[in-house]
A and B are shown apart, each in its own frame.
Chain A
């Protein structure tokens, strides 16, 4: 199995939660972490985003956000509570510009290459005003959009699956 992610499976509860979190401040950018694990599905490597964790300490303006070290320490504490050895699989942040396009700014590019450049890391950018979003990752030294790879998923036994009789 090569180290290349074939698909990004995102728990269906993650995006609504992130949207709700980012609605708290529509003037400045906000950020947080994506939490999940690597899945082997039919001998393919999938990235599973199972949860999210808002950053507890960050510096932001209307056009940029930097996550401070204390947030990473708090993230470690949070990860310790998961039974399934979840890891940080990326980060998310908002672009409250009410725009049709959401793409990394030069500040974001710096953050991505410094902290989220592993093969499984993804960067989710959401415009909480226009509801547009995109998801990016580093591949071959470039940052590319991988939104085609994303699929919302529900796991068997989940309340959602029971409720909608899937």
Chain B
């Protein structure tokens, strides 16, 4: 205790007076001031008033509800996007080797594949042809075709020929007029000799020149 700077000084009116240098007495602020702007270690003592249990419970419920509504709003947005069929685009990519061997073909769905898996159904089929690619409308809807040099529509049950050189890359869009769904098709290279989208494709005509 002696090293804290307080020293015996004198007695006055039967009261013992001690002496301390101001430099040994470090003032930390007035705890009665409204802002209580004193040292942090002391300040935390005063804000230690016990929180009522109902307040904590209310806080937890609020956090939970906020989380639930947040997740729900995300889900709602996803469903809303699915329902807007016009914005859904299927991308069909077919790739062949220069020798005409099928390398791969696959369908890309731009958004929310999981929702579309079960209802997935392509309303048309693609067939090889001596002059190009034959598109057959297998649906009861009208399909609209849009390609660099071709624009037209296919009525239900009809076929449509896209002329194509053996190594030409073709990009086209087929729009189901009724659903508004757009299918974007890319044939990369090589000669198309596989059918897509129909199981009994062997029975379909293999040339488009007859149509």
Using a CB–CB distance below 8 Å, which chain A residues touch chain B? 1, 3, 9-10, 12, 15-16, 19, 37-42, 45, 48, 83-85, 87, 120, 129-131, 133-135, 147-148, 150-158, 160-161, 164, 166
Q: Determine the residue in chain B with the shortest Cβ distance to A157.
A: B3
| Max chain A C-beta neighbours (<10 A), residue from B4, B12, B23, B48 | B4
21 A-B pairs within 8 Å (CB atoms) are namely A10-B31, A12-B39, A12-B42, A15-B45, A19-B45, A37-B18, A38-B17, A39-B25, A40-B9, A120-B15, A133-B31, A147-B32, A150-B30, A152-B27, A152-B30, A152-B31, A153-B26, A156-B23, A156-B25, A164-B41, A166-B26
Q: How far is the CA of A148 from the CA of B48 in the complex (A)?
A: 24
Chain B residues positioned under 8 Å from A131 (CB to CB): 46-47, 49
CB atoms of B31 and A39 under 8 A apart? no
Q: How far is the CA of A42 from the CA of B5 in the complex (A)?
A: 14
Count contacts between A and B, CB distance < 8 Å.
115
CB atoms of A3 and B31 under 8 A apart? no
Chain B residues positioned under 8 Å from A9 (CB to CB): 25, 27
Q: How far is the CA of A24 from the CA of B5 in the complex (A)?
A: 34
- Closest chain A CB from B39 CB (angstroms): 7
CB atoms of A164 and B24 under 8 A apart? no
Q: Does B121 have its Cβ within 8 Å of any Cβ on chain A?
A: no
CB atoms of A40 and B17 under 8 A apart? yes
CB atoms of B42 and A41 under 8 A apart? no
CB atoms of A155 and B6 under 8 A apart? yes
With beta carbons under 8 angstroms apart, the residue of A85, A133, A166 that contacts B32 is A133
CB atoms of A148 and B32 under 8 A apart? yes
- Closest chain A CB from B54 CB (angstroms): 16
CB atoms of A156 and B4 under 8 A apart? yes
Chain B residues positioned under 8 Å from A133 (CB to CB): 31-32
CB atoms of B49 and A37 under 8 A apart? no
CB atoms of A39 and B17 under 8 A apart? yes
CB atoms of A16 and B45 under 8 A apart? yes
With beta carbons under 8 angstroms apart, the residue of B18, B22, B42, B49 that contacts A152 is B42
CB atoms of A153 and B17 under 8 A apart? no
Using a CB–CB distance below 8 Å, which chain B residues touch chain A? 1-6, 9-10, 12-13, 15-32, 38-39, 41-42, 45-49
CB atoms of A37 and B16 under 8 A apart? yes
Chain B residues positioned under 8 Å from A120 (CB to CB): 15
Chain B residues positioned under 8 Å from A129 (CB to CB): 49
Besides the known contacts A39-B20, A40-B19, A154-B26, 5 further A-B residue pairs in the complex with CB atoms under 8 A apart: A38-B15, A40-B9, A84-B6, A156-B4, A164-B39
Q: Determine the residue in chain A with the shortest Cβ distance to B47.
A: A131
Chain A residues positioned under 8 Å from B22 (CB to CB): 41-42
- Closest chain A CB from B27 CB (angstroms): 5
Q: How far is the CA of A10 from the CA of B28 in the complex (A)?
A: 10
Q: Determine the residue in chain A with the shortest Cβ distance to B32.
A: A147
Chain A residues positioned under 8 Å from B46 (CB to CB): 15, 19, 131
A153 and B25 contact, Cβ closer than 8 Å, known pairs A38-B18, A39-B20:
yes
CB atoms of B26 and A161 under 8 A apart? yes
CB atoms of B30 and A147 under 8 A apart? yes
Q: Determine the residue in chain B with the shortest Cβ distance to A19.
A: B45
A156 and B29 contact, Cβ closer than 8 Å, known pairs A38-B17, A85-B16, A131-B46:
no
Q: Determine the residue in chain A with the shortest Cβ distance to B4.
A: A155
Chain A residues positioned under 8 Å from B18 (CB to CB): 37-40, 48, 84
CB atoms of B25 and A41 under 8 A apart? yes
Q: How far is the CA of A132 from the CA of B3 in the complex (A)?
A: 34
